[in-house]
């Protein structure tokens, strides 16, 4: 059994007080008539024995106290070692958790960086494609149409153009004074045509628009598919019955018919309208069915069996050759 001491001075004082107040039972038993006699040294025998027992007891207590102190020191050392081990384990656990979280953060950063690089590459690729498409469109479409128009506009003389504008405006004033009023929505070309003096410069040419490349590929595929649709000659047919064999694939609905207002007039539109419509109360009788379709709740019983498999009609043969007139044959 071990006792923990919190105040060493008070414990020693309490121990010394207990030793001083204790009485030896051996000294009381050894009280004899000879105890009144003096010893050779001049001290009583009982006092000498009591002092020896007290010294022995004190030495024993001191020895126990030393052992107790050593045990307490060992216990304190073990407690300190355990505390140090526990602190080290907690520190190592925190370090491991920190390393794990740090690794997760680094992996997340690397993943985010990789995704950012991929997105940047994708954006740059899309940007280059748009830039290349724009340059190709500018070269093959815009410049091809706008170039000749700009050349014709630049070739005009500014003085002649101003003179032409003045003459056109004077013609407008003369006509307005003569007729009293002019209407923009009613044009009589024989009297006054306001669009005659303001003709737009037109330039027609054939262009290869890269923006319509998908539609062009579609038209090319349709042309190839249409070439595969052939009708066999009568000589190639086994019976010559005029049956046609169509090769290729069935074409889809033309993209020009996809617009709202046009799509509804196609067979696809009628079918879509029919599938989306609901059966009205008047037309429900037309589609009403009296046949019960239920694969789980099946009607059973003799009545249901007789309805599905009714008995045959009774037939009697009278006066048939090979049979007597009294014999009757029943089937069913």
pLDDT digits (tens, 9 = 90+) for 95-131: 999 999 999 999 999 999 999 999 999 999 999 999 9
**φ/ψ (deg, to 5) at 188:** -105, 105
pLDDT for 104 equals 94
pLDDT for 281 equals 60
pLDDT for 276 equals 75
Question: Are the C-beta atoms of residues 55 and 29 closer than 8 Å to each other?
Answer: no
Torsion of CA 69, 75, 77, 83, to 10 degrees: -150
pLDDT for 33 equals 43
**pTM for this predicted structure:** 0.37
Q: CA 234, CA 21: separation in Å to the nearest integer? A: 144
Residues 6+ apart with CB under 8 A from 211: 133, 137
Q: Which residues of the chain have pLDDT under 70?
A: 1-3, 22-49, 201, 225-252, 279-284, 287, 314-332
Residue environment code for 49-73, b if the CB has 16+ CB neighbours within 10 A, otherwise e: ebeeebeeeeeeeeeeeeeeeeeee
Q: CA 220, CA 215: separation in Å to the nearest integer? A: 9
Q: CA 42, CA 38: separation in Å to the nearest integer? A: 5
Cα of 100 vs its chain's centroid, Å: 27
Q: How far apart are the first and last CA of the chain?
A: 109
- DSSP 8-state symbol, 138: I
pLDDT for 81 equals 93
pLDDT for 331 equals 52
pLDDT for 232 equals 39
**φ/ψ (deg, to 5) at 225:** -70, -40
């Amino acid at each position: 059994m071990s006792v923990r001491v919190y105040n060493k001075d008070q414990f020693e004082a309490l121990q010394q007080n207990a030793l001083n107040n204790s009485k030896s039972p051996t000294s009381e038993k050894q009280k004899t008539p000879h105890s009144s006699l003096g010893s050779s040294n001049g001290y009583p025998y009982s006092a000498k024995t009591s002092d020896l027992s007290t010294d022995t007891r004190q030495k024993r207590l001191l020895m126990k106290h030393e052992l107790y102190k050593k045990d307490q020191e060992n216990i304190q050392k073990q407690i300190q070692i355990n505390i140090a081990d526990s602190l080290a384990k907690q520190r190592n656990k925190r370090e491991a958790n920190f390393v794990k979280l740090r690794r997760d953060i680094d992996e997340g950063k690397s993943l985010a960086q990789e995704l950012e690089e991929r997105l940047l590459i994708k954006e740059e690729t899309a940007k280059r494609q748009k830039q290349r498409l724009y340059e190709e469109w500018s070269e093959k479409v815009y410049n091809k149409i706008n170039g000749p128009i700009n050349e014709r506009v630049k070739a005009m003389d500014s003085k002649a153009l101003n003179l032409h504008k003045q003459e056109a405006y004077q013609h407008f004033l003369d006509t307005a004074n003569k007729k009293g009023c002019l209407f923009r929505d009613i044009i009589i070309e024989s009297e006054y045509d306001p669009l005659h003096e303001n003709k737009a410069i037109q330039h027609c040419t054939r262009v290869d628009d890269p923006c319509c490349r998908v539609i062009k590929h579609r038209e090319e595929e349709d042309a190839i598919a249409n070439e595969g649709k052939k009708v066999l000659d009568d000589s190639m047919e086994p019976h010559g019955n005029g049956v046609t064999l169509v090769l290729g694939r069935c074409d889809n609905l033309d993209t020009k018919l996809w617009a709202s207002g046009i799509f509804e007039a196609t067979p696809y539109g009628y079918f879509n309208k029919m599938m989306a419509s609901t059966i009205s109360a008047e037309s429900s009788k037309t589609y009403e069915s009296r046949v019960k379709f239920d694969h789980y709740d099946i009607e059973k019983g003799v009545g249901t069996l007789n309805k599905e498999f009714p008995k045959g009609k009774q037939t009697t043969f009278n006066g048939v050759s090979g049979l007597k007139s009294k014999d009757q044959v029943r089937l069913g």
